[in-house]
Structure 1
Amino acid sequence: MKKSNDREVATPHLAEEWVGKVYTFICILFLIITIFSMVYFVASKGLSTFLVNGVNVKDLLTGLKWKPDGEPPMFGALPFIFGSFSTSILAAIIAAPLGFCAAVFMIELSPKIGRTFMQPVIELLAGIPSVVYGFVGLSVVVPLFRDIFPGQGVGIAAGALVLAFMILPTITTIATDALASLPAGLKEGSYALGATRWQTIYRIVLPTTLPAQMTGIVLGIARAFGEALAVQMVIGNAPHIPHSLFQSASTLTSAITLSMGNTAMGSVQNNALWSLALILMMMTFVFVFIIRWLEGRKKL
């Protein structure tokens, strides 16, 4: 009688486990199919520029002129690539020190005030829509730069400053988690050897958490690289390589969003825009690989 009850109890558990495994497998399969479908769709459209329309890969990547309606048409994407990289890297240069200093303040200097007031405020920045950042940049940053520096105020500097505040929550959150996960024995050992608080932060905390800090910076660059609306509102959207941080420029995302709705599907210009999207996607993959490599170097 006891064996019969055990079988009755075991059977529902086995059924639930089987249903859970099937459901999980279906979800994973759907996710994989979705990712590969997106990659295939973007790649097939982007490669049509070279395979069908006969545009040279070198001309697209190194060309300086973007004139789809010219005679002959020119599809030089280097100004857009330069604009995307310059704004993203400059934004990371601005946001990284701010994020790390904010994390040090919240974890090492004043945990109570930092965790109670500062961390919620920084995390709130992540929930602000991109259009709000762009509007603030257009209303505040651009007039400020126009009054201080030569030019109209729009350009790489304005775009980088707006992007810096957009990626600041990402960098700060990862830096905070890295500092909070440090073993207490590391800092206690440093203090026991006579090191001051700042010597401990500079010689122990920063080098130990450097891989995690770099992961946050790369994640911030990845987000900044794919941002469209906020940058589009303050960068000027001029398809040339600027000679100053305060001259108009353009990015890959700006070129795609401004022109995609005005082109016919299957045309040379439309396929060239898909090629820009393919470049964006490939750069996203590069950032993911860099993040995985940095995560493998963490030794906390």
Structure 2
Amino acid sequence: MIQDELTHSSRETRQDTRGRALTYLSIGLVVVLVVAIIYFIAARGVATFTTNHVTLSEFFGINWQPTATDSNGRPEVGALPMMVTSFSVTILAALVATPFALSVAMFMTDIAERRGAKLLQAVIELLVGIPSVVYGFIGLAVVVPFLRRLAGGTGFGILAGTIVLCVMVLPTVTSLAAASIRAVPLSLRQASYAMGATRWQTLRKVVLRAATPGIITAIILGMARAFGEALAVQMVIGNTTVLPRGLFTPTSTLTSTLTTEMGNTVPGTLQNNVLWSLALILLAMSLVFNLLVRLVGRKGALPS
């Protein structure tokens, strides 16, 4: 019997060792993959400055014509218009979507009955599953003509991109905000009601304040989704690489410029390297968004 127990224990030990080795191998592969992607994009993006000798002032200029040169013979690779547009549509989409997302999240968690909450959850999940190209087609067929009739011009521009992105990030912010509100301890709600507060006062002054770190995290993740969106924005933004002068100015984002021009360049040329530099900016912003999420989560965790 002792021999059987030792054999059984030895078998479990070998299984545990194999499982641990497989886990470490998977973690190592993920780490290597992430490092390889960062190195590949960084190496290609930095080539604009090391190989093609483009200065930072030229890269952050306002004229984008990589195939042409200015009067001094310097390339016109100014990425500032795309950067300004990307940040503009991202921030505006977050500002517009956040009030709607918080309202829906509070209704789902503290106001609606269980059946109504399930129905709203199904609608949100449906919005998440809709492909980006469908949002783009709807924006092209509905939003752009509406803005054209409303304000004249072509209808393309920052406002059209903001509306499309607002709808796209709404389910992300709503789901994460609802999860944060549900995580608020029931004792806080009960204490507020015991003090004579109404439901709205409890939601506004107790629940939302306690869930603020999670809500901020939801907003940041929504902004990350909006900043990296390419196809839907490309269909409604206008794809004109000029510095925007208003909400109705046809312009271009970093992602739309990449998807439009990357297939028409030759690897190793200035036109190709500068597009990799735009991809490096997108990668850097993705890392910044992730760091912000970790920072907010670490500082705002509720005590257990």
Q: For the residues of structure 1 that align with 2:271 and 2:63, how far apart are their CA atoms? A: 14
Corresponding residue for residue 41 of structure 2: 42
Structure 1 residues 1-300: aligned runs within 5 Å: 2-61=1-60, 63-71=61-69, 72=73, 73-300=75-302
Q: For the residues of structure 2 that align with 1:76 and 1:99, how far apart are their CA atoms? A: 36
Q: CA deviation at 1:8?
A: 1.2
Q: For the residues of structure 1 that align with 2:186 and 2:50, how far apart are their CA atoms? A: 58
* 1:40-98 alpha-carbon deviations (Å, 9 max, x no partner): 0000000000001000023212x000011213320000000001100111111111111
Q: For the residues of structure 2 that align with 1:235 and 1:146, how far apart are their CA atoms? A: 13
Q: For the residues of structure 1 that align with 2:162 and 2:184, how far apart are their CA atoms? A: 32
Aligned residues: 298
Conserved? CA contact 1:208–1:299, under 8 Å? no
Q: CA deviation at 1:112?
A: 1.6
Amino acid aligned to 2:137: F
Q: CA deviation at 1:115?
A: 2.2
Q: For the residues of structure 2 that align with 1:111 and 1:33, how far apart are their CA atoms? A: 47
* 1:231-274 alpha-carbon deviations (Å, 9 max, x no partner): 00000011111111011111000111111100000001100000
Amino acid aligned to 1:80: M
Q: For the residues of structure 2 that align with 1:113 and 1:86, how far apart are their CA atoms? A: 38
* 1:220 alignment partner, SS class: helix
* 2:153 alignment partner, SS class: coil
Conserved? CA contact 1:235–1:249, under 8 Å? yes
Amino acid aligned to 1:10: S
Conserved? CA contact 1:106–1:113, under 8 Å? no
* 2:284 alignment partner, SS class: helix
What TM-score results when the alignment is normalised by the length of structure 2? 0.96
Conserved? CA contact 1:157–1:245, under 8 Å? yes
Q: CA deviation at 1:179?
A: 1.1
Segments of 5+ residues of structure 1 without an aligned counterpart are none
Segments of 5+ residues of structure 2 without an aligned counterpart are none
Q: CA deviation at 1:138?
A: 0.3
Amino acid aligned to 1:185: S
Q: For the residues of structure 1 that align with 2:247 and 2:50, how far apart are their CA atoms? A: 36
Q: For the residues of structure 1 that align with 2:246 and 2:116, how far apart are their CA atoms? A: 38
Amino acid aligned to 1:70: A
Q: For the residues of structure 2 that align with 1:185 and 1:173, how far apart are their CA atoms? A: 23
Q: For the residues of structure 1 that align with 2:97 and 2:83, how far apart are their CA atoms? A: 21
Amino acid aligned to 2:104: A
Question: RMSD in angstroms over aligned alpha carbons?
Answer: 1.0
Instruction: Report % sequence identity.
Output: 45
What TM-score results when the alignment is normalised by the length of structure 1? 0.97
* 1:190-240 alpha-carbon deviations (Å, 9 max, x no partner): 111111111111110111111100100000000110110000000001111
Larger mean Cα displacement after TM superposition, 111-120 or 38-47: 111-120
Q: For the residues of structure 2 that align with 1:12 and 1:114, how far apart are their CA atoms? A: 51
Conserved? CA contact 1:45–1:271, under 8 Å? yes
Conserved? CA contact 1:107–1:114, under 8 Å? no
